[in-house]
Amino acid sequence: MKINTPTKEKPELTLKYDEPEINTGEDRDIINLTGFIKTVSAVPDWTPRTFTEQFAIYKNTTTYRFYWYDTTNNEWRYSTGA
């Protein structure tokens, strides 16, 4: 990614970064997200104050749900995993 046009006074500035690794294997299920995202045993009812507080994994003995906070409607939404 080029940041500026090179001149005599300012050399070209280039940012280099590695492509992120995306796991496309069978272990992409919601159970593997625990430990990276806050795990709760009750449905989220707080109002998030930071970006990371907008996500939670709810789990009990039989149910896994990935919750995210919908900032447009100010409510929690979820998707159920197995």
Q: What is the pLDDT of residues 16-61, one digit of tens each?
A: 666 656 555 555 555 556 567 888 999 999 999 988 889 998 988 8
Confidence class of residue 79 from pLDDT cuts 50, 70 and 90?
A: very high
Q: Are 32 and 82 in contact (CB under 8 A)?
A: no
Domain borders along the chain are: 30-81
Phi, psi of 13 (to 5 degrees): -110, 125
Task: State how far the Cα of 42 lies from the Cα of 67, in Å rounded to an integer.
Answer: 11
Confidence class of residue 8 from pLDDT cuts 50, 70 and 90?
A: low
Alpha-carbon radius of gyration of the chain: 20
pLDDT computed for residue 55 by the predictor? 93
How far is the CA of 59 from the CAs of 6, 19, 75, in angstroms? 54, 32, 19
pLDDT computed for residue 60 by the predictor? 87
